[in-house]
Structure 1
C-alpha cells in the first residue's frame, strides 16, 4: 500500500521533499528510509546545518582532521556541508534518474551574508556547482532584489537554482522573469536546466496574524490563519499564467522545464491551527512541498490527499482585498519577512562559525 507522500506525487502531481539534513540520517540509513516512504528531494539551509553540527558529535572526527591539517574554520565548515550534500545527492540520484531530472534534488545555500551582493552571490553559486558537480544539485540563492540578476546569470549558464526566501507574489513574478530571461540567454541544453521558486508560507501567517491582532477589529481577526494560504494560491495562479502562452511555448520547444513553485516554511507555527494546514491546503500539480520531518510524519499519519491549490481562487483574492481594507500592507509584510529571513540565516551561519572556532581551540590545546 502506498503512503500519503507517494500518493501526493502519483495522484496529485506534487513532489514531497524533506526540509532537513544531518549526517546521522545519512550514516544510519534514515535518509534512505524517507526516500522509500515517498520523499523526492531534500532542502537545507544555514539554520539546519547549525542544528545538525552543534547537536551532534558526528562531525567531530572529520572537523578535527581538517583543522589539524591547517584548514581554516570557515573552509572546514564548507567541507563538512559539502560532504553531507554529496552523500545525500548519491542517495537521491536514483529518484533523479527515474524522474528524468524532475525530482531527486538536494539544495545547499550560498553564504547568507551575500544576500545583498549580486557579484559575490554569482561567484559563490558557481563555486558550489563546480565543487560539487552533480546534476541533481540545487544551489539556493535568496530572492532578494540583489539576488535576481544572480539567478538570471546562473540560469543563463545552465546551472540549477533553488530561489529561496520568497514572500510576495510581486517578487515571485520578478523571479519568474529572471528564470525565463535566463533560459532565453542560455545556449545549452535547456532540458537539463532546472529551478524551483521557494515560497515561504507559515511565516506570512505569523506576521500578518500579529498585525491583525494589533488592529483587533472583527474583520481583521477573521483573517487570522488565512492569509498565507491565500498568498500561495495567488502565487500558483501566477505560475500557471507565466508558464503558458507564446513566450513559454518557444522555450518549451527547446526543452525547457517550468520553474516549479516550492512551498517552504510549511510547519505550523500556531498550535491553534492544524499541523498539516500548509500541506493539505496547497496540493496541486507541478508543485513541491518541502516539509520538516515532524510535518512529514504528521501528513503521513493524517494528511488529506486532495487537489486544493486552485480551489476558491476568488476567495483568495477576496482575502487579500479584505487584508488591505483592514489596514495590513502585504508588501510591507513581505519586506519585513525577507529582512528577518536574511538576518536569521546570517545569524545561524555566524553562530555556527563561532561555535566551530571554539571547538577548534580545544583541538590545539
Structure 2
C-alpha cells in the first residue's frame, strides 16, 4: 500500500487541492483516482486563476461566451461550473462507493461577498443548482458574515465545505452552525443522510505567521518552537471535533458528522519535511486536501505511522501554552490570518477577472 492507501485505512480521505480542464480532459484526474487513490477535489479562486491563465483548454468556450456577450463574472463562473460538474462525473463511482462521504468536488462562492449573508446564500443556491450534481460541495468561508449563510445552505440540503478556519474558537462556531443547519433540514423533512459537510482548517499558514513572529522575538526558547503551531492547532481542533460529535443524539437521526479537513497542507518552509502536515495529521473521520506535489511527497516519504491525532490534545495545549509564554498573541494571529485569507482569494479572483476581461474583448 502507498501512503494514501495507508491514510485511508486510518480514516483520512485524501482530496486533491487542484483542478483544471486539462486534468479532466487528459484523463489525469481519473489516473490520480486509479493510481494514487485520490477521492475528492477542492478548488478556490487561486486554483481557477492558475488553470484559466494557461494553455488553450478554455479557448473554445471563451470564444462562445464572447459571442454571447457574457460579462466577465458570468464567463468565469460558466467555465468554473463546467469544470466542477465534469469533475463530479469523474468521481461518481467514488461517491457511490463511499455512500456520499467522498467523491466530492468543491466550488467556492465569490470571496468578495464573504461578509454578506444574503449574497452568499443566494450564490450558494445558484452554484448548487447549476453544478447540479449530488457530490458537489459549496465552499463558504467561516467569516462572521458568512456563518449564518452556512446554516441557511445546510438547512436547504446543500452540502457545504466551510473554509478559511484558523482558530479553535471559530471552529466551535462552525460546528454550532452545522448542527443548527442540519437540525433545520431535518425539521423540514429533508433526508439529512444526503447532506455532507467538512470544516477546512488551514495549517501551514499558521506556521508561517507564527514562525515569523518567533524569529522576530529571537530568543532560544522562541526559535525552538518554530514549526509546531500548525500541527498543534489542528490537533486541538480534532479534540473539539471528537467531543462535539461523541454523542449520537447531538445530531438528527441519520445525519453525518462534519469531518475536519486539513487544508493548506503544502509546507511553506523547505526546512520542514514535505509530508509534515500529512503524517502528523492522520486520524479517523478526517480529510486532507493536498496539492499534487504534497501527495507525491507523502507517497515517496512513506512515513505514515498510524493515528497521530487521537490522544494528542494535551501535548498540543502544552505547545500553545509555550508559544503564548514566549509572546505569541494568538488572538491577533488568527485575526490577521482570516483577514489575509479572504484578501488573498479576493486578489486571485480579481486577477482572474482582469485576465478574462482581456480575453472577452
Same structural fold, with TM-score higher than 0.5 when normalized by the shorter chain: yes
Measure how far apart 1:182 and its partner are.
1.0
Counterpart Cα distance in 2 of 1:330 and 1:56: 42
1:62 aligns with 2:61: yes
* Contact residue 276 and residue 303 of structure 1 kept, 8 A: no
Equivalent residues in 2 for 1:3-42, closer than 5 Å: 3-9=2-8, 11-36=9-34, 37-42=36-41
Determine the structure 2 residue equivalent to 1:205. Answer: 207
SS at 2:273 equivalent: coil
What is the CA deviation profile of residues 207-244 of structure 1, one whole-angstrom value per residue up to 9, with x for unaligned ones?
Answer: 00001111111111111000100000000000000002
Measure how far apart 1:266 and its partner are.
0.1
SS at 2:91 equivalent: helix
Measure how far apart 1:250 and its partner are.
5.0
Counterpart Cα distance in 2 of 1:80 and 1:303: 37
1:238 aligns with 2:209: no
Equivalent residues in 2 for 1:50-89, closer than 5 Å: 50-89=49-88
SS at 2:66 equivalent: helix
Counterpart Cα distance in 2 of 1:259 and 1:312: 20
Equivalent residues in 2 for 1:171-182, closer than 5 Å: 171-182=170-181
Counterpart Cα distance in 1 of 2:55 and 2:10: 37
- After TM superposition, the score normalised by the length of structure 1 is 0.96
Identify unmatched segments of 5+ residues in structure 2: none
Question: How many residues get paired?
Answer: 356
Measure how far apart 1:310 and its partner are.
2.4
* Contact residue 20 and residue 292 of structure 1 kept, 8 A: yes
Determine the structure 1 residue equivalent to 2:333. Answer: 333
* Contact residue 62 and residue 359 of structure 2 kept, 8 A: no
Which runs of 4 or more aligned residues in structure 1 lie more than 3 Å from their structure 2 counterparts after TM superposition? none
Equivalent residues in 2 for 1:1-365, closer than 5 Å: 2-9=1-8, 11-36=9-34, 37-186=36-185, 187=188, 188-245=190-247, 248-252=248-252, 254-305=253-304, 306-361=306-361
- After TM superposition, the score normalised by the length of structure 2 is 0.97
Identify unmatched segments of 5+ residues in structure 1: none
SS at 1:108 equivalent: strand
SS at 1:358 equivalent: helix
